[in-house]
Structure 1
Amino acid sequence: MRNCTTQRIAVVTGGTSGIGLATARHLLARGCRVAVFGQKLINVESAAEALSQDFGSERVFARAVDLAEPTQITSFFRELDECWGKAEILICNAGVSPKGPDGPTPFQEITLEEWNAVLSVNLTGAMLCCQAALPGMIEAGFGRIVFVGSIAGRAMPRIAGTAYVASKAALSGLARSLVARHAAQGISVNVVAPGRIATEMAGPRESAVNRAAVARIPAGRMGEPEEVAAAIGFLTSDEAAFINGAVIDVNGGEYAPL
């Protein structure tokens, strides 16, 4: 795959752990400058230190941002523009999936507060990031947007709660809308839908939930964050320019819409 020789600027939301951090590493290895943000300052500082050590601090931009706070999103992109310039690659990866000791909140017990909290990050936050990044992409005549969805938004949900499922399914509609409006401007918008991936959100590999997941996955194992990052990375490349409006399932065969 062609390297990012022009040091394109990439933004990875939720880029301080799991799939987001693996994606940041993938893009840095390709030669991009990468800006990440996360909600917890301690995770942001840890990710910034690790990425800077491996790829150079001049190519890493890390900030604490709460996606539920629109003004923080605006401030992040304004500061990025002043420091480096406008983003040409946007990976909307950040997401929340509330669960209690017994799993997700039963549908009849979901409060409006919980519903709005999930959608404000998983869906509205992604929309606001697109609004912030698109003008620069249009000006450049080049843009790559990738939404990180979920198998829960594609198939019958087994583990995720209703608000999470609705938010991830809605990303496909957002992507279609952006493709219809911006494909002719050199901008692609795609969705990567991971299955059960070994991340902090998924919990310990040996948990009962994960053992049950592995039992139904044809590949016989959970996925790794780097495997999802590789799919995301390809969609941001020059070679993937004609892939637009696609959903790429990364789930070991658990859901195969062939």
Structure 2
Amino acid sequence: MKNFILFGASKGLGEAFVKGLPEHGDQVWVVSRTYPSSLNVEDGIQKYWIEADLANPDASKLITSALNDIAIDVLIYNVGIWESKGFRDDYNFEQDDPAEIANIININVTSAITCIQKLLPNLKKSDNAKIFLIGSTAGLEHNDFTQVSFAASKFGLRGIGNSMREYVKKYGIGVTCINPGEIATQIPLEDGVEKVLSTYGGTQIPLQDMVSLVKCVMNLSKASCVKEITIPTMLDTNA
């Protein structure tokens, strides 16, 4: 039996993790601002919602209080907000609101640090704990992303992974940063891979691929250290 805590799991990739990673008898704590519909699915998995706004400095305390002393085997920080006009043809960095810039860094970077910090006692209770940070190809060198704050936050997430890995390896905790290209979050997990391939022609990653990747790493023994995985689409020019 495994215990999961999944951040940003009310929709998209996070929802796919809720549906695709746990097995019968596992327990899952879902951290999100909005109620996750996946909690209504009867599948033999115990699911709990932790309602939390990660922009709030006290969010990490609220989350650890909800978990109390429960051992956590898998933590996935799947959080990534971006500029309100990011990834649009009319995006203009010079018009970014300073408050929005600060919020992006706060949620994507600062909250990742503080939440993992507070949950380390729970992770230490596991025999083979794994931490996953979901980054982006925007956080890699030699890309052409112009969304400065989002890209900076994803570069920062890789830095968190590097240092966190060094800190927790004495406890046998693994830390893996995954840097995916564009993911087909519009097509639910249950619709299958073939629908994604026929719809996007290999330009977006099926949710199933991300679930399979995490499942593989989380089931490795503590002797293996998977530091970082970059998974662009086959046609991604930013990778």
User: TM exceeds 0.5?
Assistant: yes
The structural deviation recorded for 1:141 is 5.0
Contact 1:188-1:241 at 8 Å conserved across structures? no
Unpaired segments ≥5 residues, structure 1:
1-6, 201-213
SS in 2 for 1:147: strand
In the alignment, is residue 226 of structure 1 matched against residue 211 of structure 2? no
Match of 2:40 in 1: 49
Superposition pairs for residues 3-152 of structure 1, below 5 Å?
Answer: 7-29=1-23, 32-41=26-35, 44=36, 46-50=37-41, 53-56=42-45, 59-81=46-68, 85-100=70-85, 102-103=88-89, 105-140=91-126, 142-152=128-138
1:187-231 deviation line (CA, Å, top 9, x unaligned): 11111111111125xxxxxxxxxxxxx6xxxx7331112211221
SS in 2 for 1:174: helix
TM-score, structure 2 normalization: 0.83
Percent identical across equivalent pairs?
22
Q: Distance in 2 between matches of 1:121 and 1:132?
A: 16
Alignment CA distance shift 1:160-1:54 (3 Å): farther
The structural deviation recorded for 1:129 is 1.6
Letter in structure 1 aligned against 2:97? T
1:125-164 deviation line (CA, Å, top 9, x unaligned): 1111211211222344532101000011115444562111
The structure with the greater share of residues assigned to helix is 1
Q: How many residues align?
A: 225
Match of 2:150 in 1: 164
Q: Distance in 1 between matches of 2:104 and 2:90?
A: 12
In the alignment, is residue 197 of structure 1 matched against residue 173 of structure 2? no
The structural deviation recorded for 1:248 is 0.9
SS in 2 for 1:28: coil
The structural deviation recorded for 1:241 is 4.4
SS in 2 for 1:169: helix
The structural deviation recorded for 1:92 is 0.3
Q: Distance in 2 between matches of 1:69 and 1:182?
A: 25
Unpaired segments ≥5 residues, structure 2:
187-199
Contact 1:151-1:249 at 8 Å conserved across structures? yes
TM-score, structure 1 normalization: 0.77
Alignment CA distance shift 1:240-1:31 (3 Å): farther
Letter in structure 2 aligned against 1:251? P
Letter in structure 2 aligned against 1:79? A
Contact 2:72-2:126 at 8 Å conserved across structures? no
Contact 1:23-1:229 at 8 Å conserved across structures? yes
Q: Distance in 1 between matches of 2:13 and 2:84?
A: 19
The structural deviation recorded for 1:70 is 2.6
Alignment CA distance shift 1:8-1:220 (3 Å): closer
SS in 2 for 1:66: coil
